[in-house]
Amino acid sequence: GLGALDIVVNNAGMIRRAPAAETSDEDWLAVIDVNLGSVFRLCRAAGRHMLAQGRGKIVNVASLLAFQGGILVPAYAASKGGVAQLTKALANEWAGKGVNVNAIAPGYVRTANTAALQADPVRNKAIVDRIPAGRWAETQDIAGGVVFLCSPASDYVHGHLLVVDGETGQAKSMIDVPGRLGNGWLAGYIYYHDGYLAIERLGSGREGDDDVHYFYAPQPVVLVAAFGAVSAVLGVAFAL
């Protein structure tokens, strides 16, 4: 048996890059099984012990792409979105039984999985330009959040996705718009901020080339209704 089991960190992960229309079943299933299937199986096995002993901490590793979706990584984004929701589902079941289930959502971290992006001068610059910290995360930057979620300081934290991305901690929903600007794809974020629905265009990386358009939206729920209307005017808004 495992004996006492106090902490589990689910950090296994892999990535396969390809357009969605060209992603094979083999690649899809491999990524989903490693990134999501293994997380569930380990949570289930550890959870049985932790529930029996009435305590335990589980920290899953999701990703900022659980919010954004990313580009050319459909299986990875889907798996990390699944990790985010699995974390919440387990927390709903186990919070009242002494077991904390939370997740870290790292931004762009220097690992083998991101080597292709780091090596691409256009994508690398675009990524760094939109990180207020001005750099990629190193693996040790993620450790502090994990330590917090494993410590008694997080005893009343359940089902939380702790974003560690060098930004303000505000996870934005990413939108990709057909067309090009300079050397980069037109892309942006849509999010709710201080009573407004904000549409932020990420430009070509040149200083001053990012735009933010705000639409008054008194309740967050307006986001849901606004998506349809906003999608119709994105081309106009981003052309301004």
Question: Would you name the residues annotated as active-site residues?
Answer: 76
Q: What is the CA radius of gyration of the chain?
A: 19
Contacts (Cβ under 8 Å, ≥6 apart) of 10: 38, 39, 42, 43, 58, 59, 60, 61, 83
Q: Which helix (H) or strand (E) holds 225?
A: helix 222-239
- Any idea which residue has 């849509």 for tokens? 190
Give the pairing of strands 184-193 and 173-181: antiparallel
Residues 8 and 88: their CA atoms lie apart, in Å, by 16
Strand order in the sheet with 7-10: 7-10, 56-61, 99-106, 161-164
What gap in Å lies between CA 132 and CA 143, rounded to an integer?
A: 20
Residue type, 208: G
Which DSSP category does 54 fall into? T
